[in-house]
Amino acid sequence: MSSGIVYLVGAGPGDPGLLTVKGRECIQKGDVIIYDYLVNIVLINDARKDAELIYVGKQGNQHTLEQDEINQLIVDKAKENKSIVRLKGGDPCVFGRGGEEALFLLENNIPFEIVPGITAAIATPTYAGIPVTFRRYTSTFALITGHEDPTKPDSDIDWAKISTGIGTLTFYMGVKNLPYIVEQLVKHGRSKDTPVAVIRWGTRANQETVTGTLESIVENAKSIKAPAITIVGEVVKLREKLNWFENRKLFGKSIVVTRSRDQVSEFSEKLTCLGAEVIEFPTISIAEPDDFTPLDNEIKNIEGTDWLVFTSVNGVDSFFDRIFALGKDIRDLKGVKICAIGPATSKRITDLHLNVDCKPPKYVAESIVEALKSMGEIKGNKFLMPRADIARSFLPEELKALGATVSDIVAYKTVIAEPRNLKILDRLKDGSIDIVTFTSSSTARNFVKIIGEENIPAISDKVRFLSIGPITTETAKELGLNIAAEAEEYTIPGLVDIIIKELQ
Q: How far apart are CA 90 and CA 306, in angstroms?
A: 58
Of the pair 4, 195, the CB lying nearest ligand SAH is at: 195
Residue 71: CB minimum distance to ligand SAH, A: 16
Strands, E assignment, 251-374: 254-257, 277-280, 284-287, 307-310, 337-340
Which H or E element spans position 230? strand 228-232
Q: How far apart are CA 250 and CA 444, in angstroms?
A: 23
Residue 229: CB minimum distance to ligand SAH, A: 4
* Torsion of the alpha carbons at 308, 401, 363 and 445, rounded to the nearest 10: -100
Single out the segment in contact with ligand SAH by CB under 6 A; choices: 17-25, 182-190, 227-235, 469-477.
Answer: 227-235
Of the pair 123, 444, the CB lying nearest ligand SAH is at: 123
Single out the segment in contact with ligand SAH by CB under 6 A; choices: 94-102, 282-290, 454-462, 466-474.
Answer: 94-102
The number of residues making up the chain comes to 504
The answer to whether 309 and 392 are in contact (CB under 8 A) is: no
Single out the segment in contact with ligand SAH by CB under 6 A; choices: 17-25, 84-92, 130-138, 350-358.
Answer: 84-92
Tally the C-alpha atoms within 13 A of residue 449's C-alpha that lie toward its C-beta. 15
Single out the segment in contact with ligand SAH by CB under 6 A; choices: 86-94, 388-396, 402-410, 481-489.
Answer: 86-94
Q: How far apart are CA 263 and CA 446, in angstroms?
A: 16
Burial category of 169 from C-beta neighbours within 10 Å (exposed 0-12, middle 13-18, buried 19 and up):
buried
Q: Terminus-to-terminus CA distance in the chain, angstroms?
A: 61
Taking CB positions, which residue lies at the least distance from ligand SAH?
A: 90
Count of Cβ atoms closer than 10 Å to residue 84 Cβ: 29
The closest of 226, 228, 229, 231 to 212, measured between CA atoms, is 231
What SS3 class is residue 338?
strand
| Catalytic residue list contains 192 | no
Residue 70: CB minimum distance to ligand SAH, A: 14
Of the pair 195, 227, the CB lying nearest ligand SAH is at: 227
Q: Does 229 bind ligand SAH (CB under 6 A)?
A: yes
Q: How far apart are CA 486 and CA 161, in angstroms?
A: 60
Q: Does 103 bind ligand SAH (CB under 6 A)?
A: no
Residue 179: CB minimum distance to ligand SAH, A: 16
| Catalytic residue list contains 222 | no
Residue 119: CB minimum distance to ligand SAH, A: 3
Residue selected from 4, 30, 167, 202 as contacting ligand SAH according to rule CB under 6 A: 202
Report how many residues bind ligand SAH under the rule CB under 6 A. Answer: 24
Residue selected from 114, 181, 197, 199 as contacting ligand SAH according to rule CB under 6 A: 199
Single out the segment in contact with ligand SAH by CB under 6 A; choices: 220-228, 292-300, 415-423, 456-464.
Answer: 220-228
Of the pair 167, 227, the CB lying nearest ligand SAH is at: 227
Q: Which of 22, 29, 58, 462 is catalytic?
A: 58
The closest of 259, 258, 263, 255 to 451, measured between CA atoms, is 258
Residue 116: CB minimum distance to ligand SAH, A: 9
Q: Does 96 bind ligand SAH (CB under 6 A)?
A: yes
Burial category of 352 from C-beta neighbours within 10 Å (exposed 0-12, middle 13-18, buried 19 and up):
exposed
Q: Which of 173, 253, 337, 434 is catalytic?
A: 173
Single out the segment in contact with ligand SAH by CB under 6 A; choices: 221-229, 347-355, 358-366, 494-502.
Answer: 221-229
x/- map, 106-145, ligand SAH, by CB under 6 A:
-------------xx---x---------------------
Residue 66: CB minimum distance to ligand SAH, A: 17
Q: Does 41 bind ligand SAH (CB under 6 A)?
A: no
| Catalytic residue list contains 173 | yes
Of the pair 131, 470, the CB lying nearest ligand SAH is at: 131
Query: Which DSSP symbol is given to 74?
Result: H
Single out the segment in contact with ligand SAH by CB under 6 A; choices: 87-95, 279-287, 429-437, 490-498.
Answer: 87-95
Of the pair 203, 272, the CB lying nearest ligand SAH is at: 203
Q: How far apart are CA 126 and CA 329, in angstroms?
A: 52
Q: What is the DSSP string of 376-441?
A: T-STT-EEEEEEETT--SHHHHHHHHTT-EEEEEEEEEEEEPPP--TTHHHHHHHT---EEEESSH
Q: Does 88 bind ligand SAH (CB under 6 A)?
A: yes
Residue 143: CB minimum distance to ligand SAH, A: 8
Residue 160: CB minimum distance to ligand SAH, A: 24
The answer to whether 345 and 363 are in contact (CB under 8 A) is: no
Q: How far apart are CA 180 and CA 171, in angstroms?
A: 12
Q: How far apart are CA 67 and CA 394, in angstroms?
A: 64
Q: How far is CA 29 from CA 5, 33, 360, in A?
A: 12, 10, 45
Q: How far apart are CA 37 and CA 65, in angstroms?
A: 12
x/- map, 166-195, ligand SAH, by CB under 6 A:
------xx----------------------
The answer to whether 384 and 315 are in contact (CB under 8 A) is: no
Which residues belong to the active site? 36, 58, 173
Contact residues for ligand SAH (CB under 6 A)? 13-14, 38, 88-91, 94-96, 119-120, 124, 172-173, 199-203, 226-229
